[in-house]
Amino acid sequence: MAKPADHQLRPLRLISPDSQLLNEASVRIAPADVQSIGMQSIIDAMLAIAKGEQGNPDRPTLVGLAAPQVGVNKRIIIVGVNADGLGGAIDFWVYINPEIVDASQTTNFDREGCYSTDRVCGIVERADQITIKALDRAGMPVNETYSGFPARIFQHEIDHLNGIRFPDRITDDQKLLWVEPENFGDFREQWASWSHKCPRSKWLAIKSGVDTPSN
């Protein structure tokens, strides 16, 4: 009998920012496997985790989640397609094997944070508008276009599937920031002038596991 996958032996949870799985590309899912019990269980667990991180606009709020963030090396993301970045209620949709098939030439800078980067936040350049293709949780193809904050979430989460976290996109160290959870409400409004910088060496130490992430 085949050995069950590790994620089927334990409840899923957000893994530590120093986990090397977060630096690896994830594996595509065969369309025939999308509706399997195992895959649907992963999706349900991811949705439960995301919804559990809602409800406090003064602290970090989860607006998207990629399977690697919960220790599963599969190309699954969930996205708050109506998220506005202000901490309000969110509708999460599921995307399997998502790809960006078109992106606008116009870009914008905005704040980003992540449960997989510890207290490291930043100001990141992203395309204003993207078109994605993927499968939904029923295995049906979807092709959708997003702009504004949801487009940013898609780009952030698809990066996770490729082993990329947003600090790796930042080339100007002045845009690499440090935010304690209790200060996140202020950061939402003051991000453009946030004075608490994060040395790049600190981020690289967290990413490599040399520096133990904060509790």
Q: Which residues form the catalytic set?
A: 157
- What's the CA gap between 200 and 117, in Å, rounded? 12
Per residue, the 3-state secondary structure of 152-174, as one string, reads HHHHHHHHHHCCCCHHHHCCCHH
Q: Show the tokens assigned to 5.
A: 């996958």
- Kindly tell me the number of DSSP H helices and DSSP E strands found in the chain: 4, 8
Contact 135, 97 (CB under 8 A): yes
- CB-based burial of residue 150 (10 Å sphere; 0-12 exposed, 13-18 middle, 19+ buried)? buried
Contact 184, 113 (CB under 8 A): yes
- What's the CA gap between 14 and 69, in Å, rounded? 6
- What's the CA gap between 184 and 163, in Å, rounded? 25
